[in-house]
Chain A
């Protein structure tokens, strides 16, 4: 799959000796991903992996020590069950106002965040098959809760892109927001040794890890991988 990641290889991404982010922590052997504290210009899709492989001739040793510091993007899509076998009204062309042409579900409570725009919504349980499926959220709107600005406002409906809705109220519909997370792994000869998943918005920290390779002697390949994977709540 063509990926924006490869649109400008070597520019602020996947570089040996990164210098842009976290410069005060010392010397870094390499960076997988985006070497900057600024929001990345590049968007990856679920299933894509950034990988660095190192062939190495192992002499007798027990561990390979290393440190990992992982910075997750602040806008990582969240995974959440918005409605669990509950009542959902589907609108086909009159989502906000009569004849506005928008299609999408209206939830019983306001639980869409503005940040959910452009994320994926999984709808199941509708008696109309065309209402079920995975859709991209084009816009968020509707009833705002709370009324004040002290808490992030939440909305009760969204516009779904390329949806073919059948209007009506259904009573056992499940609506899930599909999320994503970054998984870092190290393989030795394609055998998983270490993996790490940092929660989104978690404080960036340096982790001290080890590869157990006490029985590896001779040529082997170490593979450091950073994979974007989907999370279904």
Chain B
């Protein structure tokens, strides 16, 4: 017998409770319910209007739908033909159990076109029963069924850009995630016209992704290729074979030989498989110009994507989420002021909507370089230009290539005076800058941004921890240590003496002074240990530090505290009464009862 079989569902019931309400009309059992999200685009709007006192509902019920926000459409009007244009459904009058009147109206309303993705839909129900009236409104949000788009690209440097998606994305490093990217810095070989070998482990799921290759001597090899097949293993032996959708590749092992068969050069072929690709728009740039004009010949370099990452939360505009962004690092500088098309393949949003291909046309900025700098092409006399433009354009082609390289070199040269600027120093020189500034801390600073902040703050840290001042001004000193802990860890810390400071001082205090004699004063025994007197605690409670964070705190204290001071403890978590010294009050306390000896 042919019957459908399927797995059993689970229906959980809870919060069963009987209630008594005021007599009148009530809107109940709305599906979707108020504030429901991720509602299906074809969801039927179900609702029940009931009267709680055995009273028939008037035939004047109306249902309005709000879509878009602010625009209300009459969807159902019982007094005027029922369902209105654009809506269908059923409206049924019923009697509740034991009722004599038709005290219920059940409505199931469908819109003839599906609800829009992520739209906020309002439902307003108006009904009457005798003298009782009902006018109730609720909202639901439709599911997300549309993939994201790339809305902007911000160039942070010639080798780094940050792209923004229109919504939160899947930030997985696997296929379909915005962080999907594999960089193969070596072990790449072109074997045949459509065949490459990559030494690193491959995954079959990468079929359909794009592969970019750099480092080959053959220009046709250095273009993006669509992967048609990935052969991971044959008979359990890894092969690393990648087939692509072209037959134009030239075999290239990355090793050059001379005529005698000796190795003269080893080039590292590099490849990437990932979601992003930067494509020069040379076909479009100037393509509309008439032939033999200089704008027809342009040049732009497309560097390989080297890494992708998420930005820091503090770097993105308020209202956006980190998962909307991806920072793309390129292997080399892009051309300045040139047009490109940035492609993203098979990235899906947080709701699982996959975009097979997204693209954004963009022009790279000049990064502060003047746009009217010397143009090589302009060096040539007009007659030479005219002669070249009407001939083979070789001079023009060479000048735009050299101009592109020259622009990059100018940018680098202009950047030399920024090497000592914490925020403009090139990323690869930040560690050198910290070394130059005499970074005294041994713990690693994890991010580039933290390194820049440290480089900026080091002079101030030094001034706050001068040897002479820190001995004289303990308050300044403790503030400085607490400030550094806040700087590195973002944690509020309190620096306090390990041993209370208001202890009994010979000649100034009265032993056994009572409250009546010296209101508000008690005499407390101190310690005779110089080490304890010069020790202090770092209190970060209720925070609990990791081992690495404790190491950072100890490093800071070791460097910043005066030579005669010592870090005794780091107080973390919930304050422990045992961590507070309870000292005996001379003349009042009895040993063994209220006195803890230090």
Cβ distance A121 to chain B, nearest Cβ, rounded Å: 9
Q: Is the CB of A212 within 8 A of B28?
A: yes
Q: What is the chain A residue whose CB lies nearest that of B175? A: A150
**In the complex, what distance in Å separates the CA atom of A70 from the CA atom of B14?**
12
**In the complex, what distance in Å separates the CA atom of A208 from the CA atom of B31?**
9
Q: Is the CB of B9 within 8 A of A216?
A: no
**In the complex, what distance in Å separates the CA atom of A43 from the CA atom of B53?**
44
Question: Among the listed A34, A135, A149, which residue makes an inter-chain contact with B10, where contact means beta carbons less than 8 Å apart?
Answer: A34
A68 interface residue per 8 A CB criterion: yes
**In the complex, what distance in Å separates the CA atom of A34 from the CA atom of B53?**
39
Supposing A63-B21, A136-B2 touch, asked if A73 and B8 sit within 8 A by C-beta, the answer is: yes
* A-side contacts of B18, CB under 8 Å: 59, 61, 63-65
* A-side contacts of B228, CB under 8 Å: 147
Selected interface stretch from A89-97, A98-106, A199-207: A199-207
CB pairs A–B below 8 angstroms (13 shown): A21-B10, A43-B5, A50-B8, A64-B19, A67-B13, A73-B8, A120-B2, A148-B208, A149-B205, A203-B37, A212-B104, A216-B96, A224-B11
* A-side contacts of B2, CB under 8 Å: 120, 134-136
Q: Is the CB of A5 within 8 A of B15?
A: no
B29 interface residue per 8 A CB criterion: yes
The chain A residues found within 8 Å of chain B, CB to CB, are 5, 13, 18, 21-22, 25-36, 39-40, 42-47, 50, 59-73, 75-77, 118-120, 134-136, 147-151, 178-180, 182, 184, 188-189, 191, 193-194, 196, 199, 202-203, 205, 207-210, 212-217, 220, 224, 226, 228, 230
Q: What is the chain A residue whose CB lies nearest that of B12? A: A69
Q: Is the CB of B11 within 8 A of A31?
A: yes
The chain B residues found within 8 Å of chain A, CB to CB, are 2-21, 26, 28-29, 31, 33, 36-38, 40, 43, 48, 50, 52-54, 96-100, 103-104, 175-176, 204-205, 207-208, 228, 346, 354, 356
**In the complex, what distance in Å separates the CA atom of A42 from the CA atom of B40?**
28
Q: Is the CB of A215 within 8 A of B11?
A: no
Question: Among the listed A13, A46, A208, which residue makes an inter-chain contact with B3, where contact means beta carbons less than 8 Å apart?
Answer: A46
**In the complex, what distance in Å separates the CA atom of A199 from the CA atom of B31?**
12
Question: Among the listed B28, B38, B54, which residue makes an inter-chain contact with A209, where contact means beta carbons less than 8 Å apart?
Answer: B28
* A-side contacts of B28, CB under 8 Å: 63, 209-210, 212
Q: What is the chain B residue whose CB lies nearest that of A52? A: B13
Q: Is the CB of B346 within 8 A of A215?
A: no
Question: Among the listed B14, B15, B207, which residue makes an inter-chain contact with A148, where contact means beta carbons less than 8 Å apart?
Answer: B207
* A-side contacts of B54, CB under 8 Å: 214-215
Q: What is the chain A residue whose CB lies nearest that of B348? A: A150
Q: Is the CB of B15 within 8 A of A77?
A: no
